[in-house]
């Protein structure tokens, strides 16, 4: 393709591969946030993520690559591949975001709490955890880890309080 003059011999951006990967990460993060923001109205789950990924992927990939296919001298399969790459990437980025549950207020065993489910990885392996913050009985402004209530409710080491 370069010999035919369809592509430049040298890229315009010297660190193109690094910049491309960085842009994909930024786009994935933005898509995950878009999915998180839309869960309240469209509902959580893979169906919502799929819809958002398809819409954003279409908007990101189709118009520019359709123009490339129509007007560029490159073979039409290249813009098709670029379009499918963007479209598929958007869908994958939003579907991956469904694996995360946002922190929320819940009632567990009759006690209101803020609950967060998280994943972690150590040298020994991967795991998941639940963190529940409950109001501290002694301080109306403070929250504490619900697990400390099970071990020793008098222990203040896990308190999270108001500033000032």
Residue 9 within a domain: no
87 and 36 fall within a common domain? yes
Domain boundary among 59, 80, 97: 97
Of 25, 61, 46, whose CA–CA distance to 94 is shortest?
46
Report residue 151's pLDDT band, with 50, 70 and 90 as the boundaries.
Answer: very low
pLDDT tops 80 at residue 40: no
Domain boundary among 49, 78, 97: 97
Which of 26-35, 46-55, 93-102 is the most confident on average?
46-55
Average pLDDT over residues 145-164: 51
Separation between Cα atoms, residue 128 and residue 161, nearest integer Å: 26
Domain boundary among 97, 122, 150: 97
37 and 73 fall within a common domain? yes
22 and 84 fall within a common domain? yes
Give the DSSP H/E element, type plus range, for residue 111: strand 111-122
DSSP annotation of 43 reads -
DSSP 3-state assignment of 155?
A: coil
Average pLDDT over residues 73-101: 85
pTM more than 0.75: no
45 and 64 fall within a common domain? yes
Domain count across the chain: 2
Q: Decide which of 34 and 97 is more confident.
A: 34
Beta strand 159-160 with 143-145: parallel, antiparallel or unpaired? antiparallel
CB 117 within 8 A of CB 129: yes
Q: Which domain holds residue 149?
A: 104-160
57 and 31 fall within a common domain? yes
CB 142 within 8 A of CB 136: yes
Phi/psi zone of residue 109: left (φ > 0), alpha (ψ -120 to 50 degrees), beta?
Answer: left
Q: Could you count the other beta carbons within 10 Å of the beta carbon of residue 160?
A: 12
Question: Which tokens go with 101?
Answer: 């549950």
110 and 83 fall within a common domain? no
pLDDT tops 70 at residue 147: no
**Residue 46 φ then ψ, to 5°:** -65, -30
């Amino acid at each position: 393709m370069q010999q035919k003059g369809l592509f430049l011999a040298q890229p315009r951006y010297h660190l193109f591969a690094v910049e491309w990967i960085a842009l994909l990460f930024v786009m994935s993060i933005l898509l995950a946030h878009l999915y998180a923001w839309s869960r309240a109205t469209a509902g959580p789950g893979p169906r919502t993520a799929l819809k958002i990924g398809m819409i954003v992927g279409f908007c990101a990939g189709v118009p520019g690559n359709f123009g490339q296919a129509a007007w560029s001298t490159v073979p039409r399969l290249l813009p098709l591949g670029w379009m499918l790459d963007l479209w598929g990437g958007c869908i994958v980025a939003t579907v991956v975001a469904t694996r995360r549950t946002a922190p929320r207020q819940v009632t567990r065993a009759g006690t209101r709490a803020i609950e967060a489910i998280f994943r972690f990885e150590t040298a020994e392996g991967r795991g998941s955890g639940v963190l529940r913050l409950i109001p501290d009985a002694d301080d109306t402004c403070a929250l504490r880890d619900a697990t400390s209530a099970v071990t020793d409710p008098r222990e203040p080491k896990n308190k999270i309080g108001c500033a000032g």
